[in-house]
Chains A and B, each alone.
Chain A
Amino acid sequence: MADLSIDFAGIRSPNPFWLASAPPTNSGAQIIRAFEAGWGGAVWKTIGAPVLNISNRYGTLSVYGQRVVGLNNMELISDRPLEVNLREIAEVKRLFPDRAVIVSAMVESDPRAWADIVRRIEDTGADGIELNYGCPHGMSERGMGAAVGQVPEYCEQITRWVTSVASIPVIVKLTPNVTDITRPAQAAVAGGANALSLINTINSVIGVNLDTFELTPSVGGKGSHGGYAGPAVKPIALHLLSAVATTPDVARAGLPISGMGGIQTWRDAAEFLLLGATSLQVCTAAMHYGYRIIEDLTDGLSNWLDDHGFASVRDVVGLSVPRVSSFGDFDLSSRVVARIDPDKCIRCNLCYVACNDTAHQCIDLHDPAGIRVDPGYDERVNGKAVADGRPQPVVREDDCVGCALCAGVCPVDACIEMVSVPSGRESVTWSQLTREQPAVTQDWAAMERYREEVGIDIH
């Protein structure tokens, strides 16, 4: 059994899974149950400035029956009295000394206010502080949350205020609602942050009611953007994580990153680890299914580590980071084509229609005798036996550009494989090519000459 314990900027936890600062970490009683279920840590629901919440706070995205593919919220930071939160934090930490208890905080942009909250948090015995620079609604209008996270100067300034008085690790939580996340990340490093976490929620409007024309959620008929989280945001979170993990300043400072945004299963978790996260935070998946998901998260992760011969979760952190690259460095001569396994294929023809209508028209239908046929049917033939002589989709590999759309739409696991085939061309990257032959970027004739020379035929 692989060792799942982590050390995150000095904060230890028995496994890398922390509940993110959100409703699952709203109270001591909840977190005690979560810890009993096995969670490695919890980031307390953000405490700080006094707030009032509105009713009807969440909106969910369902996609063809799959619920909570995305969750949108218009919730503010904790609306429980500060004293109550602080008392419960101390109590939880006392009961679970081995778990990571981190407190998320957000107060007005005043050094005294920050110094005060830092002191009070430290008095609880908490292991760390997370600065919420991300809340995209309600707090940002008051100059907090995203209003800080979106302006690198403020971000650095406030981080500095906190790190200059804090004796426990300070984690800066980044908002994704920026054009370039590496700038606030660098600002946090400059402000002396001990760690980073990302992502907070993404600005979103979840939908419009088709009968009332109100936005969802509707607060007395009015709506607004909220913050979007859940499985749908995972690809965005992975991208932002990879961008931050490869930011030289962050890498040089050796700051650990707590990754989150759409983690639902141990598979998602493993991907975040590979892209450089040391700890993992989860909110929406717990809100959808409850704390019990921790069992499979740890069990699945541990089995995956064992299967790949890793003794510890620490061994996989960042393994995929060196592979994060950019378009200019890709080998233009690397070539893959789609190959369909006829034994697995159930002949739904989804690959056929996808390629034919929207890719490169290179999947043919072959009848059982191997002859190319068009789709269609004989109006006077019917009965279940039509399934027997059904044509088989076959890729014309010469024409396949290897876009992998077909493999993406195929409902059968591992039925369409993207296989590497020799392109017969010398390896060359776009950067090399354009350095050597700058004309190809400006002139179609030059580009076509080059293509002819190396044997690239696009029709």
Chain B
Amino acid sequence: MDEPRRTAPLAELLPPMTEQEAAVEANRCLYCYDAPCLQACPTHIDIPTFIRKIATGNLRGSARTILESNFLGGTCARVCPVEELCEGACVLGKDHTPIQIGRLQRHAVDHVWQRDIEIFRKGEPTGRSVAVVGSGPAGISCAGELAKLGHDVTLYEKRELGGGLSTYGIIVLREPVEVAQRELRSLTRLGVEVRTNTEIRTRPDLQALLARHDAVFLAVGLGAVPAMGLVGEEHVTDGLSFIEASKLDPDHLHVGREVLVIGAGNTAVDAATIARRGADVTMVYRRGEDQMTAYRHEYEFALLEGIRYRFHTQPIRVLSEHGRVTGLECLRVELGGLDASGRPTPILVAGSEFVLPCDQVITAVGQEKPALAVELGLETEKGYIRVDDDLRTSAERVWAGGDCVRVRGSASTVMAVQDGKLAARAIHADLTANAPTTTITVTPSVTGEVNHG
């Protein structure tokens, strides 16, 4: 193969900023008023203020400004698709280069982490208690906000490590495992009890939680990669497990030499990126370049990595010999009229079978809907847990947020964090029986952070 093999280590890709780099970049920020970056951030971090504080050398205050709006400011700084969010809205983006908001945010949060500073303290005890189920971004965010408000919070997590997809799903090139673990540590220091290896599976489990706690927040995320119905599917590697192994046990990660990745979303790009660190990788997608769901910058990154694309191709059968993959049989696809999602419907071309030789097939075609919703008897919408504007489910005293309710919009960490924050606010209002739960329009001066640190 012509492209050189990638041997770069599995480590965070973007280096941290030096003090000098951060100072120069922070000074470039205009300190816009009613700034678009702040509006574009789903958690509405007061970006001009936190950047200003970096410029003045008030790093601790900067971290406070960030973390007050976004308890997972350290994770978000690394994983947010900033091109689509804050940086995409920066006024300097049109003619120049937008401010590197994500990296500055990481600089400020890393500053307090390196010094082991905790910005928040547990609030005055309210005597109320809340169960949070799932320790991904939505769960951590909600638990953190509630603890700040003085509620007793217990976090239930079925896996061995907390952090959800931050720990198990987001490739190490963007977020090393330690980052989410650091955020969990802040939680425990706020008095949140984190119970790992504890799964809430059944309706009685939920009843038991409701008996013990005043409210429950479900942040259970989505499920595994769904089966595709391929012949020989037992020979494929599922993308999420593949990424998980690359994060937690990279030494034993099995990567072929000729790898095909089925799918073209962000997870597929991630799986391909990992595989590319040792193999020739081709992504197989049934639609065309324009219909990919991956972010544009992710796609371009993949091309730069030397990952190849095979569009308009529908896999149907995994070929194998003695249990070892030898190829993927596919059909050509033509595009028909627009479907419900507004994209052209793929139409298989009969008799166009051909084989792509390979020794590993990885599937990354989304995640299963939260099966738990039905089990717990909650109303759903297209398979997701149905919630109202305040993230309240159909069940009394039960709220939900994060990927498990993401029927609209893109499933991302920062959206999950915002859900956790909004749900915490709604739960707090409910527990303290305050009148209005949310305000829709806030002026920056209202949310403007004051530094107490």
Chain A residues proximal to chain B, CB less than 8 Å: 64-65, 346-350, 352-353, 365, 374-387, 390, 411
Q: Nearest Cβ in chain B — how far from A201, in angstroms? A: 27
Find the B residue at minimum CB distance from A356.
Answer: B33
**Given A65-B24, A65-B55, A348-B91; A374-B443 close (CB under 8 Å):** yes
Is the pair B440, A387 in contact by a Cβ cutoff of 8 Å?
no
Is the pair B32, A350 in contact by a Cβ cutoff of 8 Å?
yes
Q: Which residues of B contact A365 (CB under 8 A)?
A: 34
Chosen A-B contacts, 25 in total, with CB atoms closer than 8 Å, are A64-B27, A65-B23, A346-B95, A348-B32, A348-B35, A350-B30, A350-B32, A353-B33, A353-B34, A374-B443, A376-B442, A376-B443, A377-B34, A377-B38, A377-B39, A377-B44, A379-B438, A381-B39, A382-B40, A382-B42, A382-B44, A382-B85, A383-B40, A383-B42, A383-B84
Is the pair A379, B442 in contact by a Cβ cutoff of 8 Å?
yes
For the residues of A in contact with B, the DSSP-based class is loop
Q: Does B278 contact A (CB under 8 A)?
A: no
Add 4 more A-B contacts to A349-B35, A383-B88 (CB < 8 A).
A65-B55, A346-B95, A350-B33, A411-B30
Is the pair A382, B33 in contact by a Cβ cutoff of 8 Å?
no
Q: Does B305 contact A (CB under 8 A)?
A: no
A348 to B27, CA, bound (A): 15
Q: Which residues of A contact B94 (CB under 8 A)?
A: 346
Size category, B interface: 35 or more
Is the pair A382, B39 in contact by a Cβ cutoff of 8 Å?
yes
A350 to B39, CA, bound (A): 16
Q: Which residues of B contact A64 (CB under 8 A)?
A: 27, 55
**Given A374-B443, A375-B444; A386-B89 close (CB under 8 Å):** yes
Find the A residue at minimum CB distance from B93.
Answer: A387
Is the pair A346, B92 in contact by a Cβ cutoff of 8 Å?
yes
**Given A379-B438, A380-B440, A384-B88; A347-B39 close (CB under 8 Å):** no
| Interface core residue of B36, B38, B44, B440 (most chain A CB under 10 Å) | B36
Is the pair B33, A375 in contact by a Cβ cutoff of 8 Å?
yes
Is the pair B33, A348 in contact by a Cβ cutoff of 8 Å?
yes
Question: Chain B, 72-97, contact with A by CB distance < 8 Å: what is the 0/1 string?
Answer: 00000000000111011101111100
Q: Which of A378, A383, A385 contacts B440 (CB 8 A)?
A: A378
Chain B residues proximal to chain A, CB less than 8 Å: 23-24, 27, 30-36, 38-42, 44, 55, 83-85, 87-89, 91-95, 389, 418, 438-444
Q: Which residues of B contact A387 (CB under 8 A)?
A: 36, 40, 88-89, 91, 93
Find the B residue at minimum CB distance from A63.
Answer: B27
A385 to B36, CA, bound (A): 9
A65 to B27, CA, bound (A): 7
Find the A residue at minimum CB distance from B91.
Answer: A346
Q: Nearest Cβ in chain A — how far from B156, in angstroms? A: 28
Q: Nearest Cβ in chain B — how far from A48, in angstroms? A: 42
A390 to B32, CA, bound (A): 13
Q: Which residues of B contact A384 (CB under 8 A)?
A: 40, 83-85, 87-89
Is the pair A348, B440 in contact by a Cβ cutoff of 8 Å?
no
Q: Which residues of A contact B439 (CB under 8 A)?
A: 379
Q: Which residues of B contact A381 (CB under 8 A)?
A: 39
Q: Which residues of B contact A378 (CB under 8 A)?
A: 440-441
Q: Which residues of A contact B84 (CB under 8 A)?
A: 383-384
Q: Which residues of B contact A390 (CB under 8 A)?
A: 36
**Given A381-B39, A384-B40; A375-B443 close (CB under 8 Å):** yes
| Interface core residue of A365, A383, A384 (most chain B CB under 10 Å) | A384
Q: Which residues of B contact A349 (CB under 8 A)?
A: 32-35
